[in-house]
Structure 1
């Protein structure tokens, strides 16, 4: 599938901003299920300095500095991406370890190999493991159950038991509060799933991106009517012939839409960036001098190329 993503962000400041430095995660990267055909970022006013590099997770980041007084900031990201379906895994035939085996695999033992996924076991800014999340996991992570089956079941439970309510939370709402209230937005549901996994000793990460939405029959696709999306990913170690666990792969889980798949929930998804939680992959963050008040406007459009 060929997709075009337009992500426009506008800040209006009062009073003027005197000087600013920003970091963005607005350019997708190549993965097993997507190839980047084109990715451009335009910034107005024009930065005095701008640099692009990959962060420690492999995400494309853009740093820039504004050294002139400005009342507005407009950041426009344009990307064209070719996506494909992820591999299909059959629960019945797949050789998948139990979740207890995975928990034991990630416990420290002298002489064991280091697995990079261990970085996603620990607390992070927006994901704090707690007894509430461990208790929430009990219904899905029963004795000797395969980790993939348990994780997908957890995703489906969040999808069925929680309510998507726009503006019911904000960035600083703790995940445990969204868990208690059983409502939130995609970011909350991703953080809840990740916190649940980490609370029982399993690595999970946060993914930001986009999903193609279809307009009602007979209506044109709205420009700027979409939004960025978020989901989670759980790590599935490999199993050799002797039953020993080793380096594995990631399985994406979208509790907002009840979708899952290895490397991607589907070809209508675009992976933008991943990290421990939202704090690692926020689209734009920075430091400004001035601009005590501001108005933020974000418009996202995801559409098939040629439409």
Structure 2
């Protein structure tokens, strides 16, 4: 599927911002399942300094600096992405075996997925997450089945409510509230998996704004979205990453666009920065993802 993505971010400041430095993760990923056909990033006012680099997780990021006074900042990312259906992960490995394979043993070969076992700024490891997740992880159950069940449980137990939480709401608080948005659902699922000793990473991206005829419109359209990728170890080889979307209770397919992956939201927030001035600000975000006819 060929998708056209437009992500517009606009800040209004009062009083004006004198200087600012920002870091943006707005360039979609490029890999085997998703190819970046084109990408452009427009910044107004024009930055005096701008550079692109790859972060520690392999995501493209753009740094830019503004040295002139401004009352508004507008950042528009336009991308064309070719997506493919996700390959099925058919492993029958019990979840306990998967956990044991990821434990540290002297002399064991390093697996990069181990980086996603540990607590991160937005995702603590805690007994409350283990207690919530354990009904989905009985002894001997395949990891793939257990992770899918956890996704379904979060979808059933939690209410999608935009005003219930904000970016800084701790995952433990979201667990108690049983309310939140896609970011909260992803953080809770990550915390459950990591607390059980299973590697999992945060995925930021987009959903197709208008679904195909006969398909239900997904929660999270017209905004950036977030879901989870759990690591399924292989038999003597590199394992697979299984993407799961607890907000919509489904495996992400070709109607999803991956923007970036990290430990949690703090690694891959679309735009963050430091400003001098602008004590009060308004944020406006608009995302549109539509099918594009190939030339």
TM-score when scaled to structure 2? 0.94
Kept in 2, the 8 Å contact 1:11–1:295? The answer is: yes
Q: Tell me the equivalent position of 2:264.
A: 277
1:267 aligns with one of 249, 254, 279: 254
Consecutive unaligned residues in structure 1, runs of 5 or more: 241-245
CA distance in 1, matches of 2:60, 2:209: 25
1:52-201 alignment, distance < 5 Å: 52-89=52-89, 94-201=90-197
SS of equivalent to 2:197? coil
1:287 corresponds to: 274
The corresponding residue for 2:292 is: 305
CA drift at 1:34: 1.0
Structure 2 distance, partners of 1:266, 1:52, is: 28
CA RMSD of aligned residues (A): 1.7
* Matched positions, count: 288
- Higher mean displacement: 44-53 or 171-180: 171-180
Contact 2:91 2:142 in 1 (8 A): no
Deviations 1:194-249 (A, max 9, x none): 000011111100000000132798xxx9xxx7111000100011014xxxxx4212
Q: Which contiguous aligned blocks of 4+ residues in structure 1 show a shift greater than 3 angstroms? A: none
Please say if residues 95 and 239 of structure 1, whose CA atoms lie closer than 8 Å, have aligned partners that are also in contact. Answer: no
Q: For residues 211-250 of structure 1, what are the structure 2 equivalents within 5 Å?
A: 211-214=207-210, 226-240=222-236, 246-250=237-241
SS in 2 for 1:143: coil
Inter-partner Cα distance in structure 2 for 1:109 and 1:201: 14
2:29 alignment partner in structure 1:
29
Provide closer, same or farther for how the CA distance between residues 216 and 83 of structure 1 changes in structure 2, counting only shifts above 3 A. closer
The CA distance in 2 between the partners of 1:47 and 1:213, in whole Å, is 31
- Structure 2 distance, partners of 1:130, 1:43, is 41
After superposition, give the CA deviation of every residue in 1:53-98 in whole Å (9 maximum; x if it has no partner).
1111111100000011111110000000111111134xxxx34321
- Name the SS for the 2:173 alignment partner: helix
- Tell me, yes or no, if structure 1 residue 2 matches structure 2 residue 2: yes
User: Partner of 1:247: helix, strand, or coil?
Assistant: coil
Bigger mean CA deviation after superposition, 44-53 or 156-165: 156-165
SS at match of 2:233: strand
Q: Distance in 1 between matches of 2:207 and 2:91?
A: 30
> 2:212 and 2:53 mapped to 1: Cα distance?
40
Secondary structure at the aligned position of 1:138 is classed as helix
Q: Distance in 2 between matches of 1:27 and 1:300?
A: 14
Q: Structure 2: which 5+ residue stretches go unaligned?
A: none
Report what 1:243 is aligned to: none
